[in-house]
Amino acid sequence: MNMHSTTAQARTAAAAEAKAKAGLTSQQVGSEQEAGYDTGRPKPDAASRELEDIKIEQALAILDMRMFQHGEALISPRDSAAFLKLKLAGYRWEVFGCLFLDNRHRVLAFEEMFRGTLDGASVHPREVVRAALHHNAAAVIFSHNHPSGVSEPSAADRNITRQLRDALQLIGVRVLDHLVIGQGEPTSMAARGLI
């Protein structure tokens, strides 16, 4: 068996599998030979071509929904703060979360990454990097709550923010802010020049 016939057989099998997945029968499209595939004939008949075009459009619409469906764009730091306060303010223990964004600052996902105790949570940069890659994020906003209600960033908060920023910088993900959620307005570490 030569290489050309093996490749042609593989293409024919792949086309048959694609038709089966798309729900097409041989009566709807005809065999590959009737439709002009792998026979040297120029094009399939008009009815077959029209049916294929409809299926292609449907497949593209599904792909578009899966690949390019994004959330709302966060226009201002105030939008981010309001969203994250709603997510984290009610906890009586410390929770560290990440808001993953695309390159236009549209929300891809929010994840509560780590939970701790009343006065702290262990944050692991490796897991944050893994999540950023999983979501294909271009930017991230960190947030965590202070169950005490005091939204002043601690030395540990500043230190982990630097570690996370440095780790994410290696993979091209920008850290836009780290918000500390407490009573009243959340504290933006970016606004204080701590990012």
Tens-digit pLDDT profile for residues 85-109: 988 988 999 999 999 999 998 999 9
Q: Say which amino acid occupies 63.
A: L
**What is this structure's pTM?**
0.65
Q: What is the set of domains in the chain, with CATH numbers?
A: 3-68 (no CATH), 77-188 (3.40.140.10)
Q: How far apart are the first and last CA of the chain?
A: 64
Q: Where are the beta strands (DSSP E) in the chain?
A: 95-101, 107-115, 139-145, 174-181, 187-188
**pLDDT, tens digit, for every residue of 10-28?**
445 555 555 555 554 544 4
